[in-house]
Amino acid sequence: MCARSVSSRAVVLDQSFIGRTYPPGTPYQVSREKIAEFATAIGDTSALSRDPEVARTAGHPDVVAPPTFLTILTLGVIDKLATDPDLGLDYSRMVHGDQSFTHHRPATAGDRLTVTTTIEDIFARAGNDFLTVRAEIADDAGEPVCTAKAQLVVRGEDA
């Protein structure tokens, strides 16, 4: 099967990928330093993200990552999809359309997290292809930490 077909309006992603799941890769080690760097980058001044004692007093095992911290993990997911030649995703034409997070618990320093990715939908609209991806982020015990969803837009040739 052809990975993609080209029309004058858009690259068409292979819809047989809907429902495909990519297994977890190497676990990501969440550290105090990475949380602090991310918090600084987004202007988050919360002591929960920087002071272990404040986080423990609030009932957490260690400092707490800001809610969008897990974007770090989902970017790796996008790279995995972009390097799958059979999908036909042209990374140079891709833009990020939407992102959402459903947190099951906060990510904290000391977590080792893995991501299992599923392609939920692929469709075309207005000369562009849309790819909806779900990332299930879990800890070492397999307990859910977050469900992240992203919609990627692959701009058509005329877009």
Give a yes or no: residue 46 inside a domain. no
Give a yes or no: residue 48 inside a domain. no
Non-local CB neighbours of 53 within 8 Å, separated by 6+ positions: none
Give a yes or no: residue 104 inside a domain. yes
Give a yes or no: residue 49 inside a domain. no
Distance CA 108, CA 30 (A): 7
Instruction: Specify the range with the lowest mean pLDDT, choosing from 2-6, 27-31, 112-116.
Output: 2-6
- Top pLDDT among 93 and 159 is at 93
Instruction: Tell me the whole-structure pTM to 2 decimals.
Output: 0.85
User: What would the pLDDT profile of 112-144 be if each residue is shown by its tens digit?
Assistant: 999 999 999 999 998 899 999 999 999 999 999
- Top pLDDT among 97 and 27 is at 27
Does position 7 have pLDDT exceeding 80, yes or no?
Answer: no
Give a yes or no: residue 38 inside a domain. no
Give a yes or no: residue 83 inside a domain. yes
Share of the chain above pLDDT 90, in %: 67
List the structure tokens of 79.
């790279």
Q: What is the DSSP letter of 125?
A: E
Quick check: 24 and 118 in contact, CB under 8 A?
no
Give a yes or no: residue 42 inside a domain. no
Number of domains in the chain: 1
Domain encompassing residue 88: 5-30+65-154
pLDDT confidence band for 36 (50 / 70 / 90)? very high
Distance CA 12, CA 141 (A): 38
Give a yes or no: residue 124 inside a domain. yes
Q: Residue 15 belongs to a domain with what CATH number?
A: 3.10.129.10
